Structures are given as structure tokens and as C-alpha cells.
A and B are shown apart, each in its own frame.
Chain A
Amino acid sequence: MPDELTPKPGEARPGTDSGLAGAEIEPILTVPPVVGAPKPHPILVVDDLTRSFGGLRAVDVDHLEVERGVVTALIGPNGAGKTTLFNQLTGFDRADTGRWSFDGQPVSSPSPDQLARKGMIRTFQLTKSLAKLSVLDNVLLGAPGQVGERLSAAPFRSRWQGQEEANVEQAEELLHRFNLAHMRDELAGTLSGGQRKLLEVARALMADPVMIMLDEPMAGVNPALAQSLMRHITELAFEGLTVVFIEHAMDVVTGISDWVVVLAQGRIIAEGPPWKVIHDDEVIDAYLGRRRAGAGS
């Protein structure tokens, strides 16, 4: 299967309804644009999630469902709690209260590596490329279930060489797809900021995710590169991957997302298809301030 032109994220995997991919994203359109609306095939369900820093309640989500196999954008003005919410869901920060389930299984006191092994892979707002590793090694690190990562097998090359070669092949495909193939053997620290973003996405895909969570993938990337990144993201969903990404610029999300969740001051204030959400009064208020209140409307 690794020989196929279609990279791994497109393959059917346990718990993934592969028939959902691509043209059949219709079910999400039947969902009413109401906060906390139930989705037909939720992959992530969150209840009563809160996180406070001192007196500030950074995240306060009553109920949220993320639909499987579509692109969901998480937007909100600066300081809305988007990254904090991401950190709770991926186990990088402990929530004060809350229950959530991922891929049908309840998650209790999650650790980042456990969640990652279940298929929830995230990237970071400030890219975390492994500077002194080659670009190829960066991607190879993402491969799941590596025999050679066990100390008992590590000294014996014959035990992991075959798997490593298959991984290299897959990694090279990913590098090619993200226009990094020519940088294969360079140290990742020598890449430009935009290239590092691409590298991080390639590395995340190497981990064979069920759901990929991108924290501001477009920030600090030049417009041309951002365009190609967006194209990659839509392709991923087309192949059946669930994509959630954070963005604070509203115009960016309309072209690529199937569903938009708007966060302001830690609370979800609106969700729905992008063309509905951007006209939502409360969303406009959250971004621009309450100028309407003065107008008496």
C-alpha cells in the first residue's frame, strides 16, 4: 500500500468511515448552525471543559462536537482561548474540568504522547522543527510503531532496516508533496520559516493521524506558500482525514473550511458553515467590538 500514489492519510483505518471522504461531506450541511449542535459522525466530543488562569477563565466550553472527515476551523480574536483549548484537547495542558471522547473512546487525564498514538496529531503555532536533525529525519520521527525505537532492537540494524526503508520511501513522498524534496539532507534549522511550517505538517502526516490539529498553520507564511498550504489542507480532508485548524484571520477560513467554530473570551459564540458564520452579528461584534449596541439596533 505504501507504493500507491495516494499517501497514507487517505487509507481506511479502524474507526474511520472511509465512505465519508470527498464528495460525501454533505451530512455536515444538514447540521443547524447552532452552538453545541450534534454532528452526524463526531470524532471528537467535548463536554463542560474549563480552564482558568487565576481569575481569568480562558476556556469554558459546554458542548462541542467535531465532525469526522471535514475541515473545521477554530477562529476567534486574539486571546480568545483557541490555543489554550487546543492544548487541553491534545493533553499539553491539564483542563480544570471537562470530559471528552476521541474516536469513540473516552479520554481521561490524557498525555500528549498517548493521544498522539491514538491518532490525534497536532502542530504548533511557533514551529518546532528539530533544528539539528536532517529534514528527512524530522519526517521519519513521525512514523508510528517503529521497531527500531525500542532499545532492545536498536543495536541490531537488521531488525529495523526493512521498516526504516519503507518509512524513508513514505517520507520522501511527503517531502515531495510539500516541495521539500530538494532539502532532504539539509539540517532542518536551515529552513525558512515557511518551509518549517510545511515540514511540520509533513511530519504530522507521517504519524498516520486520524485527526490533525494545526495551530495557525498560515501565520508568518508568505501568501503563495499559504495558498499551497491551504490546498494541501483541503486535499487532506478529501482523503478522509479530519482537520481542525486555528486561524485568527476570518477571510482565510472561508475558502477551505467546511465548518467554523468561533471562540471569544473562552466561550464558543457561534458555529456553522463559513458563509453563515461570517455574517453572524455576534461574531462581527466579537471581532469589531459592540458598535451596534450604540446604534440602537
Chain B
Amino acid sequence: MAFDIIFGNAARAAFGPEAVILALAAVGLNVHFGFTGLLNFGQVGFLLLGAYGTSVSVATFGWSLWVGILVGLVLSVALAVAFGLPTLRLHVVMFAIVTIAAAEIIRILIGSTDAIGLTGGPLSVSFDAEAFYDLNPYPDGPHDRYGVGTFEFTGQQMWVITVGWVLVALVSLVVFLIVRSPWGRVLKSIREDEDATRSLGKNVFSYKMQALIIGGVIGGMGGVVDAIKTSGADPNGFRPQVTFFAYTALLLGGAATYVGPILGAILFWFLREWIESFLRQLSAEAWLPSTVADFLDGAEGVISVAMVGLSLVLLMLFRPQGITGSRTEMQLDAR
């Protein structure tokens, strides 16, 4: 079996644009869930508005890409306010239910046939992201490749992932700077006990709203990267599982840490692609009984997602704090 190909594929997924998008979603979710304790199950809604805000601005209204990006991020803020105003005063479970439902409602509306004129509806929307690729410093001829073996990118991909990872680093730096401050201390206190925080004179609602907006905008940036990467947006790309993949990445890397969500996103895509590639190679092996080969054929993607789920279960059993999390903190939960 060609393990070099398997590893090459896995590494390409781990550092490719998909991992950037997942990392941004997870870093935003970390602000919500990891630091503030907000159980946001609608993170995909922020990615969706980031992606559609950008795409529709350019494709439907003919605005410049940069304006489109701004529209996408402003819509993310608007969604955070819309999520937060009615629900942040409610119990954490209510918030979880509202967010997952609201994100689904937005996706269904945007993907409905009535919305074809605006968002492309079920047909998806596409635009020309040349304003972004014009800035590409990587030579992008038909034969220009970067990397070794199957771990290689085109010039355009290189530009997307370079900007993407720099964005991830900058955003994480900002998160680090604000969370290590007294402001971040209030967030963590809210996560631990809202009433205690309130009893010391902190306006809990306001802090939760700030956290929701910040994490939401970071998720929206993930959507913007997605729109640029695919030069468009498709409603099927924003199903609820995107939120759960972000949770998987976050828990894998370690919630309430700074590098955890990034590491988790990289590892998530590495594992997922490694397993899928492995199964694809396996089903082509001659010694495999035909029944097994038939079963595997075409099901590699599904099985690999299932395997990632299994690895998350194992992680919760043996290392619940994630890769970078603190074990002592986790043990306090068991008390």
C-alpha cells in the first residue's frame, strides 16, 4: 500500500484551506464555549453569513470583493446580536436550542427557490474572486506546484492558505491578548458561575454579548475564506455538522486554550483524510474479499467521519481535556 500517498493527502488536508476554515470556526467557538461557557450550536450560521455576505455582495450586487468581505463580517455581528438579545438571559440549554435552530432556518431560507434571485437559492452562488488572486505573489502557471508528492498545492491554493493561516495566527493573538486581561477574567467567571459574577457588579449580559459577537465574527471570517476558496457559496456546505466538526476540533485540541482549536482543526482534517485515503487504497487491494471491497467503495468519506467520531469518544474517555488542555481543571468538573 502506498503510505506516502496517504500521508501526503492527509498533510494536504491538514494544512489546506478546509483546515483554515475549521480553525477559524473553532477559534470563534472557543471564545463562546471555551472561555465564556456559551453553548453555541449555531456556529455554522456565522460561517454561512460570512460566505454568503461576501458572495452575494459581489455576484448579485456587483460590489467589490473587499466591500463584500465587510458585508459578510457585519452580517456576522448582526447574527450575534440577533442570537443574543432574546436568548442570552435564558438558560444555557435554551441558548443551545435557539442557536442550532436559527442557523438551520437561515440556511433553509437562503437555499430556498424563492431566494434564487438574491442568493442563488439551491443553485448556489458563484463570483469571481480575482481581486484577491490579483495579489497572489506565488507564480501560478499550469505547471507550478508547491510541496512534495501528494502534499502539494497550486499557486492559488498557496495564496489562500498563506493568507488563511496568517489570519488564524492574528485572530488567535487578539484572542490571547483580550482573554488574558481582566476582561477575560470576567468571561471565565461567567463560565464558572453567572450569579457569582453578577453579585460582584459585573454586567453579565453585556459580557456574554461581547463574547458572542467576537466569536461570531471570527466564525464569519471562516465563511469569508470559504467563499474566496470556492469562489462562491452553496447552502449544502453549511449544514449543522459544520458546527459539530468545529466542536470536535475544539475538544480535540483542548477548549479554553489558545492553540488548542488550531491544533484540533489540523488534526481533525489530518485524521479524516488519512482514514479516507487509507480506505480508498485498501479497497483497491487485490487480496481484499470482494464483499468488503464493495462495501468500502464509495463509503470511504462516511466511514472516515465515523472514525473521527470514534476517536472523539476515545479522547473523551482517555484524555478529556484534549491535547493541550489541563488535566487538573478537567478533574474539577468531576467533583
B329 CB within 8 Å of chain A: yes
Q: What string of 1s and 0s marks CB contacts (under 8 Å) between B183-194 and chain A?
A: 111101101110
Residue of A124, A147, A164 near B196 (CB, 8 A) is A124
Please determine whether B183 and A154 come into contact, CB atoms closer than 8 angstroms.
yes
Residue of B191, B202, B328, B332 near A149 (CB, 8 A) is B202
A249 CB within 8 Å of chain B: no
Distance to closest chain B CB from A86 (angstroms): 11
Partner-binding segment picked from B3-11, B174-182, B239-247:
B174-182
Residue of B183, B200, B201 near A151 (CB, 8 A) is B183
B204 CB within 8 Å of chain A: yes
Q: Is the interface of B mostly helix, strand, loop or mixed?
A: helix
A47 CB within 8 Å of chain B: no
Given contacts A155-B181, A160-B181, contact A121 B192 (CB under 8 A): no
Q: Which residue of B lies closest to A155 (CB)?
A: B177
Task: Report the separation of the CA atoms of residues A207 and B184 in the bound assembly, to the nearest whole angstrom.
Answer: 18
Q: What string of 1s and 0s marks CB contacts (under 8 Å) between A128-154 and chain B?
A: 111111000100111010111111011
Given contacts A132-B188, A189-B332, contact A121 B200 (CB under 8 A): yes
B210 CB within 8 Å of chain A: yes
B291 CB within 8 Å of chain A: no
Residue of A121, A149, A164 near B199 (CB, 8 A) is A121
Please determine whether B201 and A128 come into contact, CB atoms closer than 8 angstroms.
no
Please determine whether A112 and B199 come into contact, CB atoms closer than 8 angstroms.
yes
Please determine whether B182 and A154 come into contact, CB atoms closer than 8 angstroms.
yes
Distance to closest chain A CB from B38 (angstroms): 16
Complex A-B: 13 CB contacts under 8 Å: A112-B195, A113-B203, A114-B201, A116-B199, A121-B201, A124-B196, A128-B196, A130-B188, A137-B185, A149-B181, A154-B178, A154-B183, A155-B174
Task: Give B residues with C-beta under 8 Å from A.
Answer: 174, 177-178, 181-186, 188-189, 191-193, 195-204, 210, 256, 328-329, 332, 335
Task: Give A residues with C-beta under 8 Å from B.
Answer: 90, 92, 112-114, 116-117, 121-124, 128-133, 137, 140-142, 144, 146-151, 153-155, 157, 160, 164, 187, 189-190, 203-204, 207
